[in-house]
Structure 1
Amino acid sequence: MRILHTSDWHLGRTLHGESLHEHQVRFHDWLVDLVAEREVDAVVIPGDVYDRAVPDVASVELLGRTLSRLARITTVILTPGNHDSAARLGFGRDLLRSGVHLLTDLPGIEHPVVLEDEHGEVLVFGLPYLEPDMVRHALTPEGEETLGRSHAAVLQAAMDRVRERIAQHARHAQRPRAIVLAHAFVAGGSASDSERDLSVGGIGSVPGSVFCGIDYLALGHLHGGQDLSALVGAPAWYSGSPLAFSFSEKDHRKSVLLLDIGAPSAGGPAEMTVERISTPVPRPLTELRGTLEEVLAEAPAHGQDWLKAIITDAARPPHLQERLHQVFPHLLLTEFDPQGRGERDLAPLVRREADPLAVMDEFFDFVTGAPPTPLEHEILDDAYSAVRAGRQEAS
């Protein structure tokens, strides 16, 4: 059986103010073509389909079109992440065509989607993002003390139910192969700046051992594709996001995962191969550090990249943004980090007894790295005098 694992689409997301919608449309078109070309039996998406709980109309329409197109050629199994609203994402799930399964509610964790091939059944379980304070009472086994306020506790309880259902199937036939979709931060995974912290309401990370006893763990949440099989004891991957959402992801290889699952094994996970397929990236993310002239000299190589420029001149160059934009039309971030200034005194600059114009000179020096020139001091003096004159007239 061939499964495609992708996650963390974050439809509606921007990159430092730059709309990503057209690039997300391109990825969806590419994905549908890939599923058809590689004859994929099922697409699994473990969460963060949308970037926020109340998505914009364009993102809702894009997801609707993509699910409809995929349902014509494969089976789609989708669970919500911490950015999604499970209730909104799952609206109308009972009305959808048989090719789309939205596993968005707590009772659904015990009811897998059942796929079949020549080797028998494959059970696909979907664990929606489980906020500990909202689900720990419902997941507490009858007669036991209420689960703790941690993701590890609630996911352990959810996986106990999954393993019990697998055992029930195995009692009536050969052991079925089992895939679990989970949106979680598995301890040992590599994070980036663009993921939302899961620790609110409880301890955020989850040990890989929680997910033992299955054939494949399809993870969502972390945006860098990575293999955590050694931590879980079974094949376990984050597919990562198909696009970058911060400069901390500039070195990521964005991809989807194509799994070929073979016959079940009595002593462990089924035979399996995992292929990483790179997704279409609009343009590279590049970080350049140096003086303004040094950064501008990189334009031939990086002029069309999404750029973060860190400028190290001792004094802030005049018209900095305008000069950068002239040669880097996709400049997204500019930082001024003067070289050689060292740690600056961050104590309050305003002293009650200080002359206001002297305070302005000090602030100018603090921001630019150099005291004002005589002309700049004169401009500050004129501005201060005009303000004082205006106040006197008003009084």
Structure 2
Amino acid sequence: MRILHTSDWHIGRTFHGHPTLEALAEVLGALTAQVREHAVDVVIVAGDVFDSATPSGPAYTLLSDALLALHETGARVIVTSGNHDSAARLGFQARLLRDGIHVLTDPLGIGTPVTVTDAHGPVHFYGVPYLEPAIVRQHWPLADEGVPLRTQAQTMAHAMGIVRDAMSEHEGRSVAIAHCFTAGVDATAGLEREVRQGGLDVVPIDVFAGLDYVALGHIHGRQRLSDGVRYAGAPLHYSFGEQHKPRGSWLVDLDANGLASVEWLELPVPRALVTLTGTLDEILSDENVRAHAADWVCAVYTDELPQTEPMRRLRERFPYCAMVQHQPAVSAQAVERTYSERLRTAVTDSERIEAFLEHVRAGQGPSAHERDLIREVLDERVRAEALV
């Protein structure tokens, strides 16, 4: 059986204020062509189908068009919900979809697989939607050994316990689809929202032991945690922090014994992302313009002083300049050293707050009015603590 593993479409997301629906439609069209070219049997979309819990009308239209196009290739399509999706809104039309398109959003359905049969027998697909402990606790109030579910690790372990129970009743190969942050991944800083990288919300990889393949979503860059546990990443670049990460999906082959091979299929990038660093005049050079006039540009100019109307000047040369940052090389280093030194030597909370403000404001501390507010807040905290 041949499976295409994709995830994190984030339909409706903007890129620095620019809509991405048209670009995403182009990429999903290329993905559909790959499904037809490689004779894919099952397409998996592992969560974060939408970027918002309240998608716009055009976002629903794009999803419907994409699912129908994939279905017309002859492939089965299995979709699960992620943390950005509203499970209710994504799943409300599940029963109205044509045979062969499965939208799995109900935690209570985790133990009921979607079964697809090939020449070697059945393959059971277990869809695990994003599980927020505070929400699913109502379904499993005392999950394992009477302990309430409080973390993603506990919740996913309980869900996979349900999957294993179901696996014991359904002979054949098994594939799980989940949306979570698994130990060992490399996330894009500031991008994967609601990902808690330290501590209890990291799901151990051994939670997924025993399956033939685990298709994960939530991380926007491709990741191989083991041969059979992988993230596909997002089909579009949604941040300059992702610019060097390839876009694509995993082509997974199962034989009679389980996982046979996994191949990466590249997807086209409608508009490349580039970060240009240097003085503003260096960034605006003819050489840069020739190379990057058609790209999304993040300009980081290092002039000692802020320049006049940098975005206007940049967009005259780079029509798709999306972001500009002023990072003076020398003064930034000096401020960083000052911040570290002041934090080490700070004695009072007010001194720490002043050091922080100077750090984020490139050397400018609090005004007289702000000092009064800081003192008032700190005094109020002391009074409150005295009453406890």
TM-score, with normalisation over the residues of structure 2?
0.83
Task: Give the equivalent residue in structure 2 for 1:64.
Answer: 64
Amino acid at match of 1:50: F
CA 1:107–1:319 in 2, change beyond 3 Å: closer, same or farther? closer
Task: Give the equivalent residue in structure 2 for 1:277.
Answer: 265
CA 1:144–1:340 in 2, change beyond 3 Å: closer, same or farther? closer
Task: Give the equivalent residue in structure 1 for 2:363.
Answer: 345
Encode CA deviations 1:252-277: one digit per residue, 9 max, x unaligned.
Answer: 0111111111112xxxxx24211111
* C-alpha separation in 1, matches of 2:369 and 2:256: 76
| 8 Å Cα contact 1:82-1:129 kept in structure 2 | yes
Secondary structure at 2:110 match in 1? helix
Q: 2:176 aligns with which of 173, 177, 180?
A: 180
| 8 Å Cα contact 2:236-2:247 kept in structure 1 | yes
Q: 2:201 aligns with which of 192, 199, 204?
A: 204
| 8 Å Cα contact 2:298-2:322 kept in structure 1 | yes
Q: What displacement does 1:85 show? A: 0.5
| 8 Å Cα contact 1:304-1:328 kept in structure 2 | yes
Q: Gaps spanning 5+ residues in structure 1: where?
A: 171-175, 265-269, 353-395
| 8 Å Cα contact 1:7-1:45 kept in structure 2 | yes
* C-alpha separation in 2, matches of 1:78 and 1:157: 21
Secondary structure at 1:228 match in 2? strand
Task: Give the equivalent residue in structure 1 for 2:34.
Answer: 34
Amino acid at match of 1:210: V
* C-alpha separation in 2, matches of 1:162 and 1:115: 17
Q: What displacement does 1:75 show? A: 0.4
| 8 Å Cα contact 2:144-2:158 kept in structure 1 | no
Q: 2:309 aligns with which of 319, 322, 328?
A: 319
Encode CA deviations 1:220-242: one digit per residue, 9 max, x unaligned.
Answer: 0000011011xxxx611100000
CA 1:289–1:143 in 2, change beyond 3 Å: closer, same or farther? closer
Amino acid at match of 2:102: H
| 8 Å Cα contact 2:143-2:149 kept in structure 1 | no
Q: 2:274 aligns with which of 281, 286, 289?
A: 286
Encode CA deviations 1:354-395: one digit per residue, 9 max, x unaligned.
Answer: xxxxxxxxxxxxxxxxxxxxxxxxxxxxxxxxxxxxxxxxxx
Q: What displacement does 1:351 show? A: 7.3
Task: Give the equivalent residue in structure 1 for 2:344.
Answer: none
Q: What displacement does 1:141 show? A: 5.9
* C-alpha separation in 2, matches of 1:317 and 1:93: 54
Amino acid at match of 1:237: R
Q: What displacement does 1:203 show? A: 3.4
Q: 2:245 aligns with which of 248, 252, 256?
A: 252
Aligned Cα root-mean-square deviation (Å):
1.9
| 8 Å Cα contact 2:273-2:296 kept in structure 1 | yes
| 8 Å Cα contact 1:197-1:204 kept in structure 2 | no
Amino acid at match of 1:76: V
* C-alpha separation in 2, matches of 1:323 and 1:95: 52
Task: Give the equivalent residue in structure 2 for 1:91.
Answer: 92
Encode CA deviations 1:197-222: one digit per residue, 9 max, x unaligned.
Answer: 2449x932111011111000000000
* C-alpha separation in 2, matches of 1:142 and 1:310: 50
Amino acid at match of 1:178: S
CA 1:180–1:296 in 2, change beyond 3 Å: closer, same or farther? same
Write the mapping of 1:15-26 to structure 2, written as runs, cut at 5 A. Answer: 15-26=15-26
Amino acid at match of 1:126: G
Identity level (%) = 42
Q: Looking at CA atoms only, which structure, 1 or 2, has the larger radius of gyration? A: 1
CA 1:129–1:308 in 2, change beyond 3 Å: closer, same or farther? same
| 8 Å Cα contact 1:139-1:154 kept in structure 2 | no
Write the mapping of 1:142-153 to structure 2, written as runs, cut at 5 A. Answer: 144-153=145-154
CA 1:142–1:25 in 2, change beyond 3 Å: closer, same or farther? closer
Task: Give the equivalent residue in structure 2 for 1:242.
Answer: 235
* C-alpha separation in 2, matches of 1:199 and 1:109: 24
Amino acid at match of 1:339: A
| 8 Å Cα contact 2:213-2:259 kept in structure 1 | no
| 8 Å Cα contact 1:10-1:48 kept in structure 2 | yes
Q: What displacement does 1:28 show? A: 1.9
Q: Does 1:43 align with 2:36?
A: no
| 8 Å Cα contact 1:46-1:182 kept in structure 2 | yes
Q: What displacement does 1:137 show? A: 4.3
Task: Give the equivalent residue in structure 1 for 2:349.
Answer: none
Task: Give the equivalent residue in structure 1 for 2:351.
Answer: none
Q: Decide which moves more: 116-125 or 132-141.
A: 132-141
Task: Give the equivalent residue in structure 1 for 2:214.
Answer: 217
| 8 Å Cα contact 1:296-1:324 kept in structure 2 | yes
